[in-house]
């Protein structure tokens, strides 16, 4: 089955910048996050799709390849989700080597690794230090990373004499190709190490601590240089990219540096005004509710949002008020409300401006409807 277009998956235009990509990814990731959709297989697939799309499009090199060659270019280049390998250069690198006489030889560098780090909103807001357990490769102790049974450096390839490439005559042209004997490494191993089987590396799980700065958000990446896969026989290691994913919060919704919180208020406070206690990431805070407050009104607590990781002022806490209808009333309370309702109805627009306005619009609508029948 053909893969969906990454831009369509995120719902953005091909000209979208980094901020637009991040906003689109954050919105969809929160919508389809497995914690919010337990047991929903379809939501899980959506979450994987948007994560893969963002991983590709947020990487300048991978995005350029995708824009030019589509999914096929990424698959050939090993640039899909999970790492960008050497396959793409294998396709085109030999051509340029043939023309310009480029040389590609020696042990291969280590691959980059990606790790998804799930954080709570509090951890993201204030920063944290997390311990990661990573499956990776380490230098083989038996052969000291050489891949040979005797632990000594491998011999020079007898075919290419260490160059990693050989010259091939084709008509008037002399072309350079990867050496078929050593596959470009420049060395050969006739008696490989029994532990690592000649690779010089063995599988291993390492423990690593990563310091997460305060203010990170879903989609942010932390690069740990040299903490990826080890390179072959002394080649440089890859990097580790820790991709941040914020878990859904039971109380707050995050939008950039601002936080939203739904706050129910009683009927009397909505009508007369008063103070209510609301939660914040720094403890409880008193919120003053003005009189005659309606459901849906948003009140701001400045500076109680999140301070951005790249600097700047902290965001705000925006409280969305919802007037709660009283339930489980006693007979006496019902009688009191009936009397209050009758008194309010006598005031008309003075006490119920929205209801009066709505009734006026309804009368006009029905009058026009009858006229046109």
DSSP sequence for 190-241: SSB-TTTTTSSEEEEEEEEEEEEPTT--TT-EEEETT-SPPPGGGPPP--EE
Residue 130 · residue 212 · CB < 8 Å: yes
The length of the chain, given as a count of residues: 373
Residue 209 · residue 129 · CB < 8 Å: yes
Six token digits for residue 65: 């390849």
Please enumerate in sequence order all residues whose Cβ is within 8 A of that of 133, keeping only pairs 6 or more positions apart, or say none.
205, 206, 207
Residue 18: per-residue pLDDT: 86
For tokens 């953005």, name the residue. Answer: 12
Residue 102 · residue 93 · CB < 8 Å: yes
Q: Is 81 exposed, middle or buried (0-12, 13-18, 19+ CB in 10 A)?
A: middle
- Which residues of the chain, if any, have pLDDT below 70? 1-2, 75-107, 170-174, 232-234, 348, 368-373
Residue 181: per-residue pLDDT: 84
pTM listed for this prediction = 0.59
| DSSP annotation of 304 | -
Residue 218 · residue 127 · CB < 8 Å: no
CA-only gyration radius of the chain, Å: 32
From the list 294, 286, 282, 305, the residue with the least C-alpha distance to 351 is 294
Residue 373: per-residue pLDDT: 61
Residue 234: per-residue pLDDT: 66
Q: Give the pLDDT confidence of 307-326 residue by residue, as tens digits.
A: 999 889 999 999 999 999 88
Residue 230 · residue 201 · CB < 8 Å: yes
| DSSP annotation of 325 | P
């Amino acid at each position: 089955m053909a893969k969906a277009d990454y831009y369509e998956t995120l719902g953005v235009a091909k000209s979208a910048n980094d901020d637009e990509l991040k906003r689109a990814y954050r919105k969809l990731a929160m919508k389809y996050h497995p914690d919010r959709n337990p047991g929903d297989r379809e939501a899980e697939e959506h979450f994987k799709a948007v994560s893969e799309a963002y991983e590709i499009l947020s990487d300048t090199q991978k995005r350029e390849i995708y824009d030019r060659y589509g999914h096929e270019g990424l698959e050939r280049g090993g640039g899909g989700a999970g790492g960008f390998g050497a396959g793409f250069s294998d396709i085109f690198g030999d051509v340029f080597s043939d023309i310009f006489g480029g040389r590609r030889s020696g042990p291969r560098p280590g691959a980059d690794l990606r790790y998804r780090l799930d954080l709570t909103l509090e951890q993201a807001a204030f920063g944290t230090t997390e311990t990661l357990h990573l499956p990776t490769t380490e230098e083989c102790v038996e052969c000291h990373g050489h891949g040979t049974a005797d632990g000594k450096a491998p011999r020079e390839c007898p075919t290419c004499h260490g160059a990693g490439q050989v010259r091939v005559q084709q008509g008037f042209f002399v072309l350079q190709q990867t050496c078929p004997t050593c596959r470009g490494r420049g060395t050969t191993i006739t008696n490989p190490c029994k532990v690592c089987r000649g690779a010089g590396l063995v599988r291993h799980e390492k423990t690593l601590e990563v310091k997460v700065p305060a203010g990170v958000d879903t989609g942010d990446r932390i690069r740990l240089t040299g903490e990826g896969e080890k390179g072959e026989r002394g080649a440089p290691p890859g990097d580790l990219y820790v991709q941040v994913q914020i878990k859904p919060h039971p109380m707050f919704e995050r939008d950039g540096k601002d936080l939203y919180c739904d706050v129910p208020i009683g009927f009397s406070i909505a009508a007369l005004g008063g103070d209510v206690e609301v939660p914040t990431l720094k403890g409880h805070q008193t919120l003053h509710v003005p009189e005659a407050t309606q459901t849906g009104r948003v009140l701001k607590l400045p500076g109680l949002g999140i301070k951005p990781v790249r600097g700047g002022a902290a965001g705000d806490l925006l409280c969305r008020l919802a007037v709660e209808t009283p339930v489980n009333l006693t007979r006496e309370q019902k009688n009191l409300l009936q009397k209050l309702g009758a008194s309010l109805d006598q005031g008309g627009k003075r006490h119920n401006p929205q209801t009066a306005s709505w009734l006026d619009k309804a009368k006009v609508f029905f009058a026009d409807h009858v006229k046109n029948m």
